[in-house]
Structure 1
Amino acid sequence: MGIFDRLTGTRCPPEGVSPVPAQELRAALLGLNRAEEPYVVRYGGGERCDLLAEWRLTEPAWQQTFVRSEITHAVRIRMRLDPTAHELRALEEQWELSRVGTPTRLQVTSQYTRGPSRTVSRQWTIGRGADGRLEATETFRFDSARMREPLRDLVLQLGWTWRGLVLGKL
C-alpha cells in the first residue's frame, strides 16, 4: 500500500480471507440499516453508483437530532463494486449545512468537499457534582466515522478491498 492509499483511507482485507460474491456483499451492506443509526444505506439509482450511504437529514425522527446538535456538515458515501478486483470504490462527499426558517430546518449551502473527512460534534452540560465541584458531562456526541467505519469494516471482513477515492471516476 502506498502513501496515496493511506491518504485516501484505502484498506485491504486480512490475509487469508476469501472474498464473497458481489451480491452477498451488497446484501450485507444493505443489512446494516437500522432505525437507531443516523444513516441509511440504499441502492445508488440516479446517483451513478451501486450503493449510497447518507445521513438521515430529512427524516422527521432524525431531523430534530441533527438540528438540535448543531451539526454543520452532511456526509454521504457513494460506493461502486468491482467484482473482478474484489474492490469497493468509495467516494466520500461532504456539504456544509445551515439552519433556516421557523421551525428550524437544515439547508445545504454551496460548500462541497470530496475525500475522507471526519466531523465530530459534542455537547456538554456543566453542573455541580455531589461533592460541590464543577463537572462537565457529555450529553451528546456525533461522529461521522459512525457511518464510514461499519461500512469499511464489513467490506474488509467479507474479503474485499475498501478503496477510498478523492479524484477520478467512481
Structure 2
Amino acid sequence: MTRRRLWDRYMGTHHADAGAVPLPTQELRHALLALNGTGVPFGVREAGGGKAHLLAEWRVLEPAWGSGINRRQVERTFKVWIRLLPEEREVRAVDEQWAVTRAGPPPGRIVQREGGRGPIRTVQTRRTLERGPDGRRKWVESFRLDTRDMKDPLRKTVVGAGWTWRGALRL
C-alpha cells in the first residue's frame, strides 16, 4: 500500500462510487444543512467566515460521578469544520475535540481542560450494576458516546452526493 493510501485511510478519506454524478455545490451545502432536522445528535450551521464553509457541532454532558467535593462532570464538544472545494468535488474536514471537567457539588469549578485536532474517534460507555426483575444483578449501559454517530451521517451525505470526503489536519 502506498504512503498516500495509508495516510488517506488514517485520516478517514472516502471516495464516491465510480461513475457517480456529483451534485452542484449549493445542493450539497443544503443537504448537509438539512441534516439538522433528521434526529441526529448534532447541529450543522454556516461557519461564519474563515476557511471553513460549514461547522458541525455536538455538545455532550456526561453523567456526573463521585460525591461532595470529589464530584466530577465532563462536558465534551466535538466539531467538524467543513470546507467545500467545488473544483475538485471534494470536502475537506478537520476534526476538533474539547473536554472541560468541572468539580464540586453543583459542578462549576473547572479543574481540567483538554483539546486537540486531527482524526478523532471516541467511544465511551458507562455501565451500572442493577438488580433485574428476577433478582439477579446485571450490568446496564447508562451512558454511550460514539463520534461515529456524528461523522457517519456527514460522510454519507457527502459521498452520496458524488463528492470525496477527505480528512485533514488544517483547512
TM-score by length of 1: 0.81
| Partner residue of 2:57 out of 43, 54, 63 | 54
In structure 1, list runs of 5 or more residues that go unmatched.
58-64
In structure 2, list runs of 5 or more residues that go unmatched.
65-72
Residue 108 of structure 1 deviates from its aligned partner by 10
Q: Deviations over 1:6-60 (max 9, x none)?
A: 11111101122111000000000000003843311000113531000011x3xxx
Q: Tell me the percent identity.
A: 42
The answer for the alignment partner of 1:162 in structure 2 is 165
TM-score by length of 2: 0.80
Aligned residues: 160
Residue 75 of structure 1 deviates from its aligned partner by 1.3
**Which of the pair has more CA radius of gyration?**
2
The answer for the alignment partner of 2:19 in structure 1 is 16
1:34 aligns with 2:37: yes
1:148 aligns with 2:151: yes
The answer for the alignment partner of 1:61 in structure 2 is none
Code of the residue aligned with 1:139 in structure 2: it is S
Code of the residue aligned with 2:63 in structure 1: it is R
The answer for the alignment partner of 2:88 in structure 1 is 85
Q: SS of the counterpart of 2:30?
A: helix
Give the RMSD, CA atoms, in angstroms. 2.6
Q: Deviations over 1:62-87 (max 9, x none)?
A: xxx61436545321010100001100
Residue 116 of structure 1 deviates from its aligned partner by 1.2
CA distance in 1, matches of 2:137, 2:61: 28
| Partner residue of 1:25 out of 23, 28, 43 | 28
CA separation of 1:71/1:109 partners in 2, compared to 1, >3 Å: closer, same or farther?
A: closer
CA separation of 1:105/1:115 partners in 2, compared to 1, >3 Å: closer, same or farther?
A: same
Alignment of 1:117-136 (within 5 A): 117-136=120-139
Runs of 4+ in 1 over 6 A off after TM superposition: none
Q: SS of the counterpart of 1:68?
A: coil
Q: Deviations over 1:82-113 (max 9, x none)?
A: 00110000001112222257743696965332
Q: SS of the counterpart of 1:31?
A: helix
CA separation of 1:142/1:71 partners in 2, compared to 1, >3 Å: closer, same or farther?
A: farther
The answer for the alignment partner of 1:68 in structure 2 is 63
